[in-house]
Amino acid sequence: MPDILIIGVIVLALAFDYINGFHDTANAIATSVSTRALTPRVAVWLAAGLNFAGAMYSTGVAKTIGGEIVKSAQMVNEPILIAAMFGAIVWNLLTWWFGIPSSSSHALIGGVMGAVLVAKGAMALNLTGILKIVASLIFSPVIALISGMIIMTLIFWIFSRVSPSKMNNKFRRLQIVSAAMMAFSHGSNDAQKAMGIITLALVSVGFLPTLEVPIWVKMAAATAMGLGTAAGGWRIIKTMGGKIFKLEPPSGFAADLNSSLVIFGATLLHLPVSTTHVVSGSIMGVGTAKRINAVRWGVAQQMLAAWVLTIPSTAAVSALAYKVIAFLF
């Protein structure tokens, strides 16, 4: 039975990674597709390949996920992690279905917290680590909004004497580079979250001595993320690409460049961030640089509501799932 349960954790973690891939495809390619810098098919495959490459880059974020939410690996077991992944997957699928850009990172954190609270109590949670993770989730979109506004303002200033048509042609080509950077940075942060859960599970049952991510876990998570990205997430692409702010090639380039720098900076600091919210913050920032009423703040409010609801909602689902699993096993 333990072998079946550990396999269950791994399968669900990879399923979460796959869903994360198609849920967050919009993060990497929505801007380049909406400005027609890339066709949807080319953009999706570019994002899939570079998501895979980014996922193989490092394991710092995985160690943060595996080691900072609970006080020790011995505080969790397979039923807890299965319940956690179930809660996160259910939330991701619901928000994907309704086309709401929400955070897979928030869903994962909420899922783990809910299952651990019900199974082991609050004493098992590493509050210092959780606060650090939550702080990175809160401040990263704010930083992206401010830096996006700065980058877009600089572009307006540098190219003030260039005709709009010439400027659009130049930045449409540059968007291919910025979309590639965005896809790589997305993979470098998001795919590591599933790696962290799988590694935590393997340590908890004694299959691994430390939270060092095995190469096969890296390969499996990177592949799941790449395949999910290739499947696409067209409902959310529509929201990210046009409903927040009408993007043009210069603003699309600025949003992608800014998002990739913020996300990759977080990866270097071993901090998990919501790539969805970073990209959304960047789009709002570049839109604000043009004029504040160019941003559709109603959509932003809807996304903020999803941000607030994600952690408690996934915590509740995973807590209920744990009760059912504990009864069955």
pLDDT in tens, 245-271: 567 888 889 988 999 999 999 999 999
Higher pLDDT among residues 304 and 56, named by residue: 56
Mean pLDDT over each residue of the chain, to the nearest integer: 85
Of the pLDDT bands very low, low, confident and very high (cuts 50, 70, 90), residue 138 is confident
Kindly state the percentage of the chain with pLDDT values over 90.
46
Cα–Cα distance between 67 and 70 in angstroms, integer? Answer: 6
The total number of residues shown for the chain amounts to: 329
Pick the more confident residue, 316 or 300.
316
User: Which residues have C-beta within 8 Å of that of residue 206, sequence separation ≥ 6?
Assistant: none
Nearest to 64 by CA among 253, 180, 199: 199
Average pLDDT over residues 17-37: 74
pLDDT at 233 over 80: no
Residue 241: the pLDDT is 46
Residue type, 10: I
Q: How many angstroms separate the CA atoms of 213 and 192, rounded?
A: 9
Domain membership of residue 320 (yes or no) is yes
Could you tell me what percentage of the chain is helix, strand and coil, using 3-state DSSP and rounding each to the nearest 5? 80, 0, 15
Tokens of 28: 């990497």
Kindly state the average pLDDT of the residues 276-282.
85
Most confident region among 19-33, 37-51, 110-124 by mean pLDDT: 110-124
Q: What is the pLDDT of residues 90-133, one digit of tens each?
A: 988 887 777 666 778 889 999 999 999 999 999 999 999 999 99
The answer to whether 232 touches 283, Cβ cutoff 8 Å, is no
Query: CA 1 to CA 327: how far, in whole Å?
Result: 14
Domain presence at residue 239: yes
Alpha helices per DSSP H over 244-296: 249-268, 275-290
What average pLDDT score do residues 31-57 get?
81
Domain count, the chain: 1
Cα–Cα distance for residue pair 30/36, rounded to 1 Å: 10
Q: What is the pLDDT of residue 85?
A: 95
Question: What single DSSP character describes residue 97?
Answer: H
Give residue 50's Cα distance to chain centre: 15
Residue 272: per-residue pLDDT: 92
**Among candidate residues 23, 20, 90, the one with its CA nearest the CA of residue 240:** 23
Evaluate whether residue 329 is within a structural domain: no
Supply the pLDDT for residue 157: 92
What is the DSSP secondary structure assignment for residue 81, as one 8-state letter? Answer: H
Residue 44 has pLDDT above 50, yes or no: yes
Q: What is the pLDDT of residues 139-175, one digit of tens each?
A: 999 999 999 999 999 999 999 888 888 888 889 889 8
Domain range holding 53? 2-324
Confidence band for 199, pLDDT divided at 50, 70 and 90:
very high
* In a domain? residue 283: yes
